[in-house]
Amino acid sequence: MLPLALLGLILWILYLCWRINTKSLMMPVEEDKSDGFPPSAKVSPTAQSPPPGEHSPSTVPSTSEQREGPGPQIGTTSGDLEVKTVDTEALQVPSAARTSNTRMTSSGPEMRERLKFILGASEDNSSDDEPMADKPPSGAPQPLTNALSPQQTTCTQAQSRSSTIKPSMSGLHLVKKGREHRKMDLQRDFTVASPAEFVTRFGGTRVIEKVLIANNGIAAVKCMRSIRRWAYEMFRNERTIRFVVMVTPEDLKANAEYIKMADHYVPVPGGPNNNNYANVELIVDIAKRIPVQAVWAGWGHASENPKLPELLNKAGISFLGPSSKAMWALGDKVASSIVAQTAGIPTLPWSGSGLRVDWVEEDQTQGIMISVPSEIYSKGCVQDVDEGLAGAEEIGYPVVIKASEGGGGKGIRKVESSEDFPGFFRQVQTEVPGSPIFIMQLAQHARHLEVQILADEYGNAISLFGRDCSIQRRHQKIIEEAPATIAAPSTFEQMERFAVRLAKMVGYVSAGYCGIPLL
């Protein structure tokens, strides 16, 4: 058996050699056609090196943004502030793989297209959605149009029409071209090169290029993510607007996500938020020393403190939110109840029932916003336990003792009888020191509905529908359901009209909500 197998192997090898020799003899000899063409019309079988100033089709220049250097070294322990720059590694995006056929491009635009990979954080302000075409410089040899076969041409055209790369904050994404690409171009009205050009085009007067975020956690992340997405769509560069964040030792130890997203961070004292994010004087001091053109406070902490926009306005820094007067008129519980009664909006019985301000709708057309005088405001408050007991007897138990400046579940107590009133009254005084206190009837078995509003500085306000926030724990919302289907459509439309009327009366600016109990 072994000799037979060896003989078969030898015969198979001889057969393969005969086949190879036969193919080599049958190959035609390529004619030399160089005599009939000028030297400038010849095409090299390999990709030609690009002339100076141009890049090879198979490589893409990487762009790196020029980050600002560290800010002024200013010390937190000695009254100074230390501004640090967040350094992220420069990411490199590999160039697209190409075949030898695509390197021998034709003169048509479909043959010369290539994809340009640009990170969303690059400093390139050109239109990244459009593929870049390799245009040969003047005087360079033009490639022959018949370098590719019809099959190769069809394949290349299909690839160029299939998709392109769109950079975004979350990475590179494939975007379909053709009809889908044209729809995207129609939706985008225009792009501008810088915030200054944007402000000039819309007739503004203040340019914002650096923002201090006086918040942490998910609030800071959502703010930076939203503004950077808008900046990329408008300026083709998501880093056009810079962000400075405040960082406590606890946030730094936890390696919070918002720190990595920011351009600079400022170390601030740890502990309760009165030492950092709710410290109005600290926020204003940081904003002036960096300096920044605007401050965003998010929600919670100092976002509802009227003192913050007031001090920032005096320092010439924009507050991304409502004015101090509008914030006080709707944020203070006593003042907002008086404003609602003035607007004809029904309220629960409370210690200031019937109080109104001299104001008519004609004042609003003349730009005169409603304000609550101090003498009327004080009539809605109770000064001590005896006055509170008298008010509770007039309203009828059960009642709620509320601190006008309270919030987040603090400064509120439910009272069932007069015997419990003194103790609960002192607890409210302790939780929110210095805050005015008022008494209101308890709304039993009520639903907590909220109407979302959006208003601008020109007196326009709209309702953005609403939500049901009745599921709470310790007076704190747990789940917000939208839309609020528990209310009849006609009832909710009336709530929306009330919310819009309140926003216009006080000159509210930015986004907000109006909480209305449904009995």
- The structural domains of the chain, ordered by start, are 105-135+150-188 (no CATH), 195-321 (3.40.50.20), 381-442 (3.30.1490.20)
Q: How far apart are CA 111 and CA 143, in angstroms?
A: 11
Mean pLDDT computed over every residue of the chain:
76
Q: What is the mean pLDDT of residues 295-319?
A: 94
Phi first, then psi: give them for residue 473, nearest 5 degrees. -140, 120
Q: Are 318 and 310 in contact (CB under 8 A)?
A: no
Q: What is the pLDDT of residues 239-264, one digit of tens each?
A: 999 999 999 999 999 999 999 999 99
Q: What share of the chain is helix, strand, coil (3-state, %, to 5)?
A: 35, 20, 45
Contacts 24+ apart (CB under 8 A), 91-95: 91/119, 92/62, 93/60, 93/62, 93/117, 93/118, 93/119, 93/172, 95/58, 95/59, 95/60
pLDDT confidence band for 20 (50 / 70 / 90):
confident
DSSP tally for the chain: helices H, then strands E? 18, 19
Tell me the chain's radius of gyration from C-alpha atoms. 35
Q: How far apart are CA 235 and CA 242, in angstroms?
A: 13
Q: Are 299 and 278 in contact (CB under 8 A)?
A: no
Q: How far apart are CA 241 and CA 471, in angstroms?
A: 38
10 Å CB burial of residue 512 (0-12, 13-18, 19+) is buried
Cβ neighbors of 81 (< 8 A, separation 6 or more) are 72, 74, 75, 266, 285, 286, 289
Q: What is the mean pLDDT of residues 381-394?
A: 94
Q: How far apart are CA 134 and CA 385, in angstroms?
A: 82
Q: What is the DSSP-derived secondary structure letter of residue 509?
A: -
Q: What is the pLDDT of residues 325-335, one digit of tens each?
A: 999 999 899 99
Asked whether residue 451 carries a pLDDT value surpassing 80, the answer given is yes
pLDDT confidence band for 97 (50 / 70 / 90):
very low
Share of the chain above pLDDT 90, in %: 53
Q: What is the pLDDT of residues 103-131, one digit of tens each?
A: 434 444 444 443 333 333 333 333 344 44
Q: What is the mean pLDDT of residues 44-69?
A: 41
Asked whether residue 348 carries a pLDDT value surpassing 50, the answer given is yes
